[in-house]
Chain A
Amino acid sequence: MSRPRSQAEYLARLVPPSVAGLRRRSLLAGAAGSGALLGTGLLAGCGGDDSGGSGSKTVSLGSNQSDPKPKEVIAKVVDGFQTSSGLQVSVNTVDHNTYQENINNYLQGKPDDVFMWFAGYRMRFFAGRGLAGDLSDVWGKLSGMSDAFKKASTGDDGKQYLVPSSYYPWALFYRKSVWQQNGYQVPKTLDELTALSAEMKKDGLVPIAFADKDGWPAMGTFDILNLRINGYQFHVDLMAGKEAWTSDKVKKVFDTWRGLLPLHQPDSLGRTWQEAAQSLQQKKSGMYLLGLFVAQQFNNDEQDDLDFFTFPEIDPSIGAKALDAPIDGYMMARRPKEEANAKKLLEYVGSKAAADITVKNDPSTLVANGEADTSGYTALQKKAAELVGSATEIAQFLDRDTRPDFASTVMIPALQQFIKDPTDIDGLTNSIENQKKSIFTD
């Protein structure tokens, strides 16, 4: 051999060993691998809590608050509970998205005694399927919770299944400095919003920042237009599959949105909400419809410059009092190991004491307990609390108010399709309605 032998051997070793068997076995495995995704317990981090069943001094808590800041807040609330009750809490924190994606397996396996979740259809769904514990007696001991929160925590059978802890409203956010400089006024009607947007365009701003790469932010736009045009009850019925997507009411929502699309930031399907929020932060956009968490994209010294207003009125007979304000809270597993301790923990997280700890430590959320000491709120938080307090109805957001399979596999592609091509509303609503009928079968 003229070629250096070592080189050939070196390369021979680089051939992945799997290649030898790649011919048919891997081809099959690749195809069937998608099948193997089924039923596998993906939730490695979620299930097993072996803190000993007999010791009555413990309780476990499944948390989806995986970001450093909220995680720290939860730790402080848990500390407060441990000090006041003398019980030990083992917190099992799982990445937020992973938690959400694996919730079905998690709840059917060995869930923690208490787990975090949110209000809305999905809470009622788990309650209806018997995967969550009845908390009516805990609610009997809670004080400071408004009726709106109680309603949002109630399942289809009239019992409570959730203890709300925090919430945040969706609104149109803007920078005060930009608006003062240009002399903009908060619009009260859709016409005023359109006129304001035209002015902003003249001033070289993108009127409404917009991003929908991840699929869910556009749901906020659909929700608020639907709430303003058709009202809260229609929103609830539409989300529950009781109203037809092909109705004129839904078409009017899309039609109005089509009129507003030119005022939105173009090419939104490739942009993340963080990038859109930064365009607001960098004073390139005039306003942005998003949840209170938009403040995360602003520096500390810019927080006071951030303000918001609720989406203006479209139909005077409907008004502008309803809004999306998703509620986060705690639920109990169907068969908790330590039921008494779990209920004590749930009582505590709904109490004024826990709310006070949260207020002191987390400026990006609002606490559910009305008795909490909110003097620690920032100006933005105070205004947000007032806005939600004055709301006549509170919706939970499209993907929390409807079936998750419908929201993720039908609505996300449909709304993206609409943003891509807003002309064919009839075709779009037909397609949604057909898919809805095949999903909402029971």
Chain B
Amino acid sequence: MSDLPLVQADRAVPPPVATTTTGGRGRRLRLLSRTDRVVIALMVLVPLLLVVALVWLPALATVALSATDWDGIGPVSEIEFVGGRNYSDVVNIYPPFVPAVQNNLLWLAALFVVATPFGMFLAVLLDKELRGTRFYQTALYLPVVLSLALIGFVWQLIYSRDQGLLNGVFGSDVDWYGDPDVNIWAVLVAAGWRHVGYIMLLYLAGLKGVDPSLREAAAVDGASETSTFFRVVFPVMRPINIIVLVVTVIESLRAFDLVWVINKGRNGLELISALVTANVVGEASRIGFGSALATIMLVVSLVFITVYLATVMREDRR
């Protein structure tokens, strides 16, 4: 049995039954002392209150504000209700919205098709116990650890049109950040650079947890390296695969920092999250309009959450 709680590689062994307050009815509850019950109640209540106060209330407030044209100044009682006008404005007359949706989708596709598989590939390679494997792990994981400001600075040095490394080395004069046809790809390279390291580490941890006897059995049966991976290791890694998938979706939905550092999400680098920030935070203070954008983002996320939850629940029932 693996010592990684995340990876239940051997499905034959049932996972430990979670002890919940509702799980054991009647008789079992009485086994708990008064203190136990107080502690359990607190342990449930405190996180619940935090989640409600910090996640649900702001989310609901956002939805409510999206139907107003509040500018962030003055008492709440003066807020004017405008119905669905913000939404129709977003769709009909706000030029950055459509590029933002396209870019978010492109982001998802690029991470899903290129960065995530590449990260998994690197993990498989590193799992071969090469010499200096820790060095490679550290080097590949480093971008995930670096601060956002530093990453923006590093890529500015590389991509700057007049003074950058890329144009300096190749003698080209591509406007990496300014040309709206090019800059999204330049940023995706930078984003992928971070994402690969993250996925690599997650996946490597999963691979280390795979029961080696499975591979030995496959080898005894005469399976090749490739078919061992795809037919034995990969299916056994299902829980990790799901986590990697979810991480990829999350990363592409909340992609924000790089484009914000580069040009505040304008001129070819529009992302919904950047538009929300540009409208809500800062001097603009179009809180109603920005909330409408945030609500749209929430709905898009809900689609993914629903799909994910449905899959997981169907899994649990089986």
Residues of A at the B interface (CB closer than 8 Å) are 1-3, 7-9, 11-12, 14-15, 19-20, 22-39, 42, 100-105, 108, 122, 129, 131, 213-215, 266-271, 275, 278-279, 404-405, 408-409, 412-414, 416-417, 420, 431, 434-435, 438-439, 441
Contact = CB atoms under 8 A, between A and B. Distances in A.
A38 B61 contact: yes
Contacts of A105: 72
Given A31-B302, A35-B298, A19 B177 contact: no
B148 interface: no
- Chain B at the A interface: mostly helix, strand, loop or mixed? helix
A12 B205 contact: yes
A23 B71 contact: no
B6 A20 contact: yes
B168 interface: no
Contacts of A22: 243, 246-247, 250
B93 A434 contact: yes
B180 A269 contact: yes
Report the 9 A-B pairs with minimum CB-CB distance, sorted nearest first.
A270-B178, A35-B62, A31-B301, A267-B175, A269-B178, A32-B59, A101-B282, A270-B177, A405-B284
A279 B72 CA distance: 41
Most buried by A among B95, B96, B204: B95
A35 B280 CA distance: 10
Given A24-B308, A213-B177, A413 B250 contact: no
Contact of A1 (B5, B212, B301): B212
B73 A409 contact: no
Nearest to A7: B208
Contacts of A215: 263-264, 266
A24 B178 CA distance: 37
A97 to B, nearest CB: 9
Contacts of B283: 100-101, 103-104, 122, 404-405, 408
B191 interface: no
Contact of B72 (A20, A32, A104, A214): A104
Given A3-B208, A405-B284, A275 B160 contact: yes
29 contacts: A9-B3, A19-B247, A25-B51, A26-B250, A27-B249, A28-B59, A28-B301, A30-B250, A30-B253, A32-B62, A32-B298, A35-B59, A35-B291, A36-B58, A37-B277, A38-B291, A131-B73, A214-B264, A269-B179, A270-B160, A270-B176, A275-B160, A279-B162, A405-B284, A405-B286, A412-B266, A420-B180, A434-B92, A434-B93
Interface residues on B, range: 35 or more
Given A26-B250, A32-B56, A38 B305 contact: no
B285 interface: yes
B6 A416 contact: no
A37 B276 contact: yes
Contacts of A271: 161-162, 175, 178
Contacts of B309: 24
Contacts of A1: 212
B162 A275 contact: yes
A24 to B, nearest CB: 6
Contact of A408 (B51, B141, B159, B284): B284
Given A34-B294, A104-B72, A270-B178, A15 B58 contact: no
A28 B58 contact: no
Contacts of B304: 27
A101 B277 CA distance: 11
Interface of B: 3-6, 51, 54-56, 58-59, 61-63, 65, 69, 71-74, 85, 89, 92-96, 141, 159-163, 173, 175-180, 183, 201-202, 204-205, 208-209, 212, 243, 246-247, 249-250, 253-254, 263-264, 266-267, 273, 276-287, 289, 291, 294, 297-298, 301-302, 304-305, 308-309, 312
Given A14-B141, A270-B159, A416-B266, 5 more contacts: A35-B61, A214-B264, A271-B162, A435-B94, A438-B89
Given A35-B294, A37-B280, A420-B180, A30 B212 contact: no
Most buried by B among A2, A27, A408, A439: A27
Contact of A101 (B74, B161, B281, B294): B281
Most buried by B among A27, A35, A122: A35
Given A12-B4, A23-B246, A439 B286 contact: yes
A269 B175 contact: yes
- Chain A at the B interface: mostly helix, strand, loop or mixed? helix
Given A15-B4, A30-B250, A213 B305 contact: no
Nearest to A282: B162
A13 B156 CA distance: 33
Nearest to B216: A2
Contact of B263 (A28, A101, A102, A214): A214
A404 B285 CA distance: 8
B125 to A, nearest CB: 15
Contacts of B160: 270, 275
Nearest to A32: B59
Contacts of B177: 213, 269-270
Most buried by A among B5, B176, B178, B183: B178
Given A32-B55, A405-B286, A439-B286, A19 B6 contact: yes
A279 B54 CA distance: 49
Nearest to A101: B282
B72 A435 contact: no
Given A131-B73, A269-B175, A416-B266, A408 B282 contact: yes
Nearest to B60: A35
B294 A27 contact: no
Contacts of B205: 11-12, 14-15
A105 B6 CA distance: 43
Contacts of A42: 281
A63 B308 CA distance: 49
B286 A38 contact: no
B3 A12 contact: yes
A104 B162 contact: no
A442 to B, nearest CB: 9
B267 A269 contact: yes
Contacts of B243: 19, 22-23
A400 to B, nearest CB: 11
Contacts of B63: 35
Contacts of B247: 19, 22
Contacts of B72: 104-105
B183 A270 contact: yes
A275 B159 CA distance: 13
A328 to B, nearest CB: 16
